[in-house]
Amino acid sequence: MLQGMAAGAGALAAGPLLGTGSAFAAREKELNILCWEGYNSAQVLDPFREKTGATVKAESLTNDPTMINRLRAGETNTWDLINVNNPWARKVMLPEKLIKPLPKAEFEPFFAQMLPEFKWPYKWAMSEDGADLLGMVQRFGPYSFVVNTDKVSRKTAEETGWDLFNDPALAGKYGILESDDWNVFNIFIVAGIDPFKVHTPDELAKFEETAKRVFKGAKLIGDIASMNQALISGEIDLHLTGGTYSVSPARADGHPNLRAITPLKGPLAGGKGGISWIEVTSTVNNPNLSPLALEFLKYVQAPEVAHTVAFAEGTFNPVAQMGNKACFDLFTKEELDAIQWDSLEEEMARSVEYDIVPDYDKALDIMNAAKRLRG
């Protein structure tokens, strides 16, 4: 403690001569995280706060483009860590200098403790040329739609797939979990179109027609809690945009009849029917990056903390660290059931990985206009 105070006093005495060093020293006890729900949980953050004595602030959002636009708008000066889905680090944030690479020697060993599909060098954690490590992976899962299997069987849901949302008989019986980027993906897929390519005017016209119909037919639009409540109460039988990430808390609460579905086939690359996500957490290109950013990335790799992250309040998910037996053994049978561990491997295999829609802004405008027609 005295050493820390002396260092602080030294930094103050040196003043402007230290340049960024003085600002760096001033941030030794603060950390700001921009993330998806889960990393902002007190269960994850409080032990780190106690361990470091730091002020840790985390803000969660429900789509990646908004988070990245926050950095583009100058918030690289605010945030230390950004937690988004797999393509953004290598395809967008590094080229735009919004993030900075991690020290490879310090972080490469952690990948040896991950599930086989994340072993070093894991594509989405690396720069396009393979030279730089851009972030650490942890949570992942399939994310397509959710059904109440008492109303729509798993077999029917997997075989019929996204065409369920084209069935007039189901109008008024489904919900839409609000998440801009994922909703855009899903409307394209319901329309029979691969979202992850440049679209023709005809395809965008079909997207618009589908968006109007799907939003009009939705019983409700809302967040994870409202979707799960509506499924449990019987208000809806299914909802789109959904998966382990959204339904796992309801399953853990004793509703195993609610299940995330990955269709057997669809219009995605290779005829696949679902989309999966893998989160990558990167250090922001903050001129005064908190030294705690790297410490936090190491902290969440520990088996006990990785298990806490997997079961953070509000959303339960598999984590890459389950490749480490010390981590996997912390999961109870009930927890594995909540995250649908039994079918995880096959569902990931039936999914393409989250990617970027080239004409996203145009599609989002069309979708939002369709949403407004609900009145």
Residue 5 — very low, low, confident or very high, per pLDDT cuts 50/70/90?
very low
Domains of the chain plus CATH, in order, are 2-138+279-341 (3.40.190.10), 141-275+352-372 (3.40.190.10)
Predicted local distance difference test score (pLDDT) of residue 375 = 76
Distance CA 135, CA 6 (A): 33
pLDDT at 2 over 70: no
Predicted local distance difference test score (pLDDT) of residue 73 = 99
Burial class of 57 by CB neighbour count within 10 A (0 to 12, 13 to 18, 19+): middle
Residue 25 — very low, low, confident or very high, per pLDDT cuts 50/70/90?
low
* Assigned token pair, 296: 């936090």
Q: Which of 4-13, 18-27, 271-280, 303-312 has the lowest mean pLDDT?
A: 4-13
| Tens digit of each residue's pLDDT (9 = 90 or more) over 230-241 | 999 999 999 999
Predicted local distance difference test score (pLDDT) of residue 65 = 97
pLDDT at 9 over 60: no
**Kindly report the CA angle at 141 between 137 and 142, in degrees rounded to 5?**
145
Predicted local distance difference test score (pLDDT) of residue 157 = 99
For 144, the 3-state DSSP assignment is strand
- The residue-averaged pLDDT of 137-144 equals 99
pLDDT at 35 over 70: yes
| Tens digit of each residue's pLDDT (9 = 90 or more) over 54-92 | 999 999 999 999 999 999 999 999 999 999 999 999 999
**For residue 249, is the peptide bond before it cis, meaning its omega torsion is within 30 degrees of 0?**
no
Residues above pLDDT 70, as percent of the chain? 93
Q: Taking all residues of the chain, what is their mean pLDDT, rounded to a whole number?
A: 94
Residue 301 phi, psi dihedral angles, 5° rounding = -80, -25
| Tens digit of each residue's pLDDT (9 = 90 or more) over 300-321 | 999 999 999 999 998 999 999 9
Residue 14 — very low, low, confident or very high, per pLDDT cuts 50/70/90?
very low
Residues above pLDDT 90, as percent of the chain? 92
pLDDT at 8 over 90: no
- The residue-averaged pLDDT of 194-202 equals 99
Predicted local distance difference test score (pLDDT) of residue 20 = 45
Distance CA 221, CA 214 (A): 11
Question: In the block, which residue shows the tokens 């909540």?
Answer: 338
* Assigned token pair, 174: 């489904």
Residue type at 58? A
301 neighbors 110 (Cβ within 8 angstroms): yes
Question: In the block, which residue shows the tokens 């004409």?
Answer: 359
Predicted local distance difference test score (pLDDT) of residue 26 = 76
146 neighbors 243 (Cβ within 8 angstroms): yes
pLDDT at 19 over 70: no
Residue 13 — very low, low, confident or very high, per pLDDT cuts 50/70/90?
very low
